[in-house]
Structures are given as C-alpha cells and as structure tokens.
Structure 1
Amino acid sequence: MKKRMAVICMLMLSVTTILGGCGSKDDGSDGGKTKIRFATWDVAEDVDKQQDLVDKFNEEHDDIEVTLEAYGSEFDTKISAGMGSGDTPDVMYMWNYPAYYDGLEPLDDYISEEGEEYKSNFYDTLWDYNTMDGSIYGIPVGFTTHCLFYNKDIFAEAGVEEPTADWTWDDLQAAAKTISEKTDAKGFSFQMKPDPYDFEMHLWSNGTAYCSEDGTMDGNINSDASKEVFQMFQDMEEEGYAIATEGDGTDEFRAGNSAMYVYGSWSINTLNEDGLNYGVTTIPAFADAGQDSVSILSSSGLSMSKDSKNKDAAWEFIKYWTNEECNKVRIGTELPVLNSVVESEGIMDQVEYAPFYTMLEQSQGHTPASFIIEDWSEVSENLSLSFEQIFNPSSMQDVDEVLDNAAK
C-alpha cells in the first residue's frame, strides 16, 4: 500500500512540474512571487512617500511584490466599482466602514495570532472607529481629534489670559467678547455649514447625540441638551463676537481675523510654515454637563478585501504599513497611532500635538451616528441643510423649530 501511494505521489509531482506548478494558478503570483495591489486615496507628494515605503517592502521580501494604486479623488468610486465587479485591491485605505465593510475581510483572527501586545500598542479608542458589528475591519494608520487653536498675539493685545485645558465654553465666550471689543479680530470662528460627522462631538460633550443606539433621532438631536449646543453657537454669531465661515476656519485664523477656532491637526504644518504665534489646547467643556469635552475622530485604517486570493501576503503588508518604522516616517502628515512611537518620539512633549492625544483619551466610548444610521448619507445631507438654516447669517432660523424638523 505504501509503495502504491508513493508511485501516485511521484506521478502527481511530475504532472505538477510539467504544468508549471503554483505559478500557473490565477492567484496573483508570478514565479513564486505573490503579487498584491494596494490602493491609496492620497495624491502628489504623499503618494511619492508611500511609493518609497512600498519599494522598501518589496526590496525586503523575495516572496511578495506590492503595486501601489493611487486613486486620489476617485477612491470611493473605484473601490465601489471594484467591490461590485470582484476586482477590489487586496489592501486599501479605509475610513467609511459602514459603506464598505461587507466587502472587507474581518481581521480579528489575524490580530489574535499576533498576540495581545500587538493590539494593545494601538490606542484603544482607534479600534472603535475601525470596527463594525463587533468585528475589526481595519488596522489604525493615522488619526486626528479636534482641539482649540488660539492666536497668542491677539490674546496678548486684548489683555486676555490664554485658554487652558480646564476652560469651559463660558470661559471661551467671555474671552471672545473681550477680544472682539479690544481688537480688530473676532473672538471665535466656526463653520457656517459644519460637517455633521464632525459637529456631533459638541453634542457628546453636552451629554447627548444625534440619535439613540438604535438610530432614533427624535428626542436626541432635538433634545434640550442638543438645542443648547446649537443655540450657543448661534448666539455667539448673532451677538457679533464669533463668525460663521464658509470654509473650515483655517484661512480666517491664519489671516488674524479670528482668535480661536476648533479644528484637527491638519493645519499644524501650515501654521508652522506661516510662523504664526499660536497655541493648542483641549476643546472647552460644558459647565453643566459634568464631564470632559469629547472629540470626533478622523481616522484612517488599512483594510483587506474579502475577495483577495492572497490574504496571508496582504496581512504581511498590512503589518508592515502599520508598524513602528512606517508610523515614524509619516509623522508630520498624520499623528502616530502606536503608544510606543508616541513615547519614543516624545510626541507628548510637543505642545502642539499633546492636546490631540488628551482629546483621544477623553473620547473613548462614543459611536458616531454614521455607524448607526443606515441611510446616513441622506440624513447627513439633511442635517447640513438644517445647520445652514441655523448658522447662515442671512437666515438664523429658530433652533427649536429647525431641530424638531430635523428629527422627523
């Protein structure tokens, strides 16, 4: 029997050799080298930097070859088309998990195999933004929370003490009023048509949200606590010490037309290049809420297509792209997501970056409405219109009425 099996095995080996072995399979491999595709949404110089990291990975791996595909502004279109046709890249950047997670591979088992130390090196809050229905679909790559930026020179001119981490919105309003009275700048600026995804953080800070855990908006977005938030922003604008901007507020801040605004870490490099004398601190808390302020996260992850034929190779690349070395290389374009890198690079000693990590720690346990409401894209559009009705200086509609309508 053993001899018969040996003969069969020899015949199978001969046939395999004749047909070219595994190289003949349509699995993305070529001559023993597994090929995988990696899709990014970045453009220009960022893509060049990413290509350098891809090249380094390819040089270090004789068995895997990664091809970088830069989709830029067409990222969502191409990912959607790829998922529809079964031609999705093996690895891709990801943030909109509610829209795409059905086409992604759950990564919980891969993470478990790496051990607890691997997972615990990432900041806990980041896992919440890379999870859907209890499964992890992306490994954190970068993030930003939001913080309060302030112009030190304007504060000095107005004779107002600079903001601190224990400020409330009452403190901000008092400072903004004085600045508007004593300088040519407005005390505070915010978006006239804020992104609903971002603005929900202010409701969280006041103990409420757009919706309940089951997606019910009525009684939540139009709760008293929610109305208080919107009314506060409208009052600041109406009373003349805050301006509602068309953009994100960075241009007004850079020009010295606004002394304070709330934004992510994206503007830090620009403000540094300008030589602006600015400071950063945590978002003010609501005095009566009895809790720290909370921030939304803008988070990116690296995901794997569930249709990938080379998932082991894809995971090898995902581990590389999210490791300490690559995390360090990307400092300046995104905030590091690994505790070990934050410690080794002294990030918490850098006054412009540390508050973003404080906000990260304060913001755990909050789920954005976009992860809960199934038709979020439609709801988001309607909310944008509602916000504009409240904050557009040509309308300034009644907060109670607008939010009651938004809840329907």
Structure 2
Amino acid sequence: MIYKKYTKVFAVLATAAMLSVTLAGCSKDSASSSKQETANWTGKITIWDGPRWEENGNKYAWIESQKKAFESSHPGVTVEIVQVPWADMNDKLGVSIAGKAWPDVAPVDISGNGVNAAFLKQKVLEPLDDYVTADDKKDFLPNALDAYSQDGKLYGLPGGMTVHGMLLNLDLFQERNVEPPKDGKWTWNEFVDDMKKLTYDKDGDGKIDVYGLSTYIKNGYYESWPFLYMDGGRPLSDDLTKFTFDSKEAEGAMKKLADLKNIPVAPKEMGSGDVGGTWKAFSAQKNVAVEPWATWAIQAAQKANMKNFMVAAYPSGSGKPVTIGGVGGWMMFHQDDAGKKKVVADLMKQLTSTEQQVVTAKNYSVFPSRKSAVDQNPFADNPQMQQAQKLTETAVMIPKQVNWKKIDEAIQSQLQLVLNGEKSPEDAMGEAKKTVDDLLTK
C-alpha cells in the first residue's frame, strides 16, 4: 500500500513537472514572440514641432535631420513632420484631442513647465517608465525629470531648460566701485546695499539718473517671481489644492520687493507691464544696473553689444536659493499598438539624447537637462551662459495646475497693485485668493 501511495505521488509530481516545463516553454516562446513583434513594428509616426534655430533659411532643419537619422536606424518606419508655430501649439493640440486625431509625439516649448496638466487630466498621454532605464533617469536633472512626472509616473522626456537670472551691467558696477556678488550669489541684505550704491545722480542735476534694479509684472512672465519665493513662499500648495501666496513668507517677500521703490533703488515704472521699456532701460539706455530676465536675454544682450555684463543668482532670503525655470521636451500621445509605442519611445529618446542636447544647447541657447550633456560644457566659449547654467539646479517650475493661466492672471493683476503702492500684499493676496480658490475647485 505504501509502495502504491508513493508511486501515485511520484506520477502526479512528474506530470506536474512536465506540465510546468511545457507551460514555461510556451510562456518563453510567447514573450519572445511578443518582443519580436514589438521590435518589428513598421509604419508611420506623426510628430509635431515648432520652429527652432535656422539652418540655410530653414527653422525645421534639426527635426528634419532627426527624421532622416531615425528612419535610417528603423527600416520600415516613416516619420511625418507637421510644422506648427509655437504660439499655436497648445490650442492645436487641444483641438486634435477633441477630435481624437492627436499626433504620436508633440513638443513642450522650452519656456513650458513640463508635461501639460490638461492633457494629463484628459488621459491622452502615455507613461514612459517601461522605456526609460533607471540609469537613464539618473542622468536627467531631478527638477527637469520632476516636471514631466505625475503621481509617480513619467509622462514625457525633458530636452532642454531655460532659467531666470539677474543680468548685471558691470560697467555701472565699476563706475560706482561696487564689487559684483562673489560666485554670483548674494543675500537680500547684500543685494539691497549694492542697489543703494548703484542708484545715483549721474549728471549732477539733482535727480536720479541710474537705478539699481527694475523689473515688471505681466501675465505669463515670471522675472519678478523668484524674489517672491526667496523666503519660502509659493503660490500653491504642493498638492495644488490650496492658494498659499497669502502666507507670511510670500507676503513678506512682496513687501520687500515693493519697498525698493520707496528707498528708492528702483524707478517708479518698476512693476508695470512694460517689457520692452524695461529691457530698453537696461540694454540701450543703460540707466538700470540690474534686471532679472529669462535665458533669451543673455543672447539678446550679447547681440546688443553689451560685452561687459554677467549673470548672477537672485538674492537669497530665509529660504533655499531658488529661481524659476522652464523645461522643454516631448510627450507621447495615446497608442493602441505596443510595438508602435516602443518605436515612438525610441524616437523620443533619440531627440533627448546627450548628443542632441549638446547640439540644441549650442544652437538654441538652452541648457541641457542631462548631466552628461552638461559635463560636455557646451558653453565653454560663452561665460554668461555658463553662469546661467549653474542656476538650473535651483530652478523650480510653475505649478502644473489645469487652470494655471487664469490663476496666474488673478495673481499678477494684484501683484501689479502691490508694486504700484496701491494695495498692501495682504489686501492684494486676499483678493487674489477669492478668485483662485474658486478656480481650484473646478
């Protein structure tokens, strides 16, 4: 009986083992077949892009070269480029989503704040975690990668960064015997002391001709905002559900900035929406020593023949050093075919590779979001861009809130009143809160 019992058990185990081997073989063959099917996908990928730097009169030359290279490395795959002006990009994408005719890949402008919150809410973007290795993720600057992440998933790949920094007219610093901030860093008190020295009557007529600082307030522009962040204030809570620009840290920073006009180390025009006039005062009239600007202004100053200027960080307060940046990159829209999804991801990785980030940095005057590209020192012959590139590590992005455009308008209109001396920060942010709280519930 015992012999029969063990014989029966052995037979059952043997049968189970054979079945396990058979199933494992089928599973392996199935996985191999699936990988092969994915690897062998052929067809058309549609990519949208905006104009970039010009080559032989063509501002789409770079994306066309990428198309050619990708088609060469992926036989049977064709890449269709749709040229879209940057100003029209988000609206056209919105229309395409409404009509369920979205592209496979679309870009985020370099001044953007990462993955589009509205597209995430509409669930039309593909997560990319399965196609990006852990080592690859480590190569991206954390704040750049964070701009394309939501709820622990990666919904895009960053290609380049912009940053806001302080431009200093060193001719005026030398004229007033003021030492520029060491390593481009200064505290708020050091900054104010320098602005006082840089504000003076140049022609001796009893009136101030040169001011230390000027900036402006305008919807969608954030040159003044790092001042408001310096003590730890932020417009919204981390989970984007609460208005927080009415905190003592934020309102205190607003008062510090507004008070610069009363000292006075800033002209009465500071805080208006006059972008052109503010830039002209710095670059052409040269009657303002320091102004905060986004990355584009570095190249503009160089073209304006301002040879003696430098880039510095915003003054630091009680919070960590901070500035505001933008992160351009690429998003993948919903795909039904797993094979195509992998190939589209391959294209996105090519566009954001170390090699292409170096090319983009040198030609498009944006900063790499990959550490390996930064290590190649693409701005070796451009000290101002080198100085600004250091600021990318402290850059934070504008909140990825679906209604941010309207929230921004509500805040900026009140900030103008603060800098014009028409409202206290407390009253202004109290008014902004009413509008923003309503928008946060929608």
TM-score, length basis structure 2: 0.75
Question: Which consecutive unaligned segments of at least 5 residues does structure 2 have?
Answer: 1-39, 109-113, 203-208, 435-442
1:34 to 40, 43, 67: 43
Distance change in 2, residues 1:322/1:215 (3 Å)? closer
User: Quick check: 1:378 aligned with 2:391?
Assistant: no
User: Quick check: 1:141 aligned with 2:159?
Assistant: yes
CA distances 1:341-370 after superposition (whole Å, capped 9, x unpaired): 21123647853234434333234xx674x3
For 1:353, the aligned partner's letter is: M
SS state at 2:375 partner: helix
CA distances 1:20-77 after superposition (whole Å, capped 9, x unpaired): xxxxxxxxx9xx8521111123367342333233333334432222122121121111
CA distances 1:218-275 after superposition (whole Å, capped 9, x unpaired): 5x31122111111122111344422425117433321113211122222222222222
User: Quick check: 1:82 aligned with 2:96?
Assistant: yes
Q: Is the 8 A contact 2:165 2:388 kept in 1?
A: yes
CA distances 1:138-179 after superposition (whole Å, capped 9, x unpaired): 101011222211011111112211123341122222222222
Counterpart of 1:54 in structure 2 is: 67
Q: Is the 8 A contact 1:158 1:182 kept in 2?
A: no
For 1:38, the aligned partner's letter is: I
The root-mean-square deviation of aligned C-alpha atoms, in Å, is 2.6
SS state at 2:168 partner: strand
For 1:320, the aligned partner's letter is: Q
2:194 to 156, 175, 178: 175
Q: Is the 8 A contact 1:98 1:132 kept in 2?
A: no
2:282 to 244, 253, 261: 253
Tell me which structure has the larger Cα radius of gyration: 2
User: Quick check: 1:353 aligned with 2:379?
Assistant: no
Q: Which runs of 4+ in 1 moved over 4 A?
A: 196-200, 346-350
User: Quick check: 1:327 aligned with 2:346?
Assistant: no
1:129 to 126, 136, 147: 147
For 2:129, the aligned partner's letter is: D
Counterpart of 1:150 in structure 2 is: 168
SS state at 1:180 partner: coil
SS state at 1:82 partner: helix
Q: d(CA) in 1 for partners of 2:377 and 2:309?
A: 22
User: Quick check: 1:188 aligned with 2:206?
Assistant: no
Q: d(CA) in 2 for partners of 1:43 and 1:320?
A: 17
Q: d(CA) in 1 for partners of 2:371 and 2:160?
A: 12
Q: d(CA) in 1 for partners of 2:42 and 2:383?
A: 46
User: Quick check: 1:317 aligned with 2:347?
Assistant: yes
Q: CA deviation at 1:194?
A: 5.8
SS state at 2:215 partner: strand
Question: Which consecutive unaligned segments of at least 5 residues does structure 1 have?
Answer: 1-28
Distance change in 2, residues 1:280/1:156 (3 Å)? same
Q: Is the 8 A contact 2:227 2:314 kept in 1?
A: no
Counterpart of 2:129 in structure 1 is: 108
User: Quick check: 1:299 aligned with 2:327?
Assistant: yes
Counterpart of 2:4 in structure 1 is: none
Q: Is the 8 A contact 2:160 2:328 kept in 1?
A: yes
SS state at 1:153 partner: helix
For 1:253, the aligned partner's letter is: F
Counterpart of 2:430 in structure 1 is: 404
User: Quick check: 1:242 aligned with 2:251?
Assistant: no
Counterpart of 2:257 in structure 1 is: 233
Q: CA deviation at 1:82?
A: 1.1
Q: CA deviation at 1:386?
A: 0.9
Moved more, 268-277 or 73-82: 268-277
Residue correspondences, number: 365
Q: Is the 8 A contact 2:45 2:80 kept in 1?
A: yes
Q: CA deviation at 1:200?
A: 4.8
Identity among equivalent pairs (%): 22
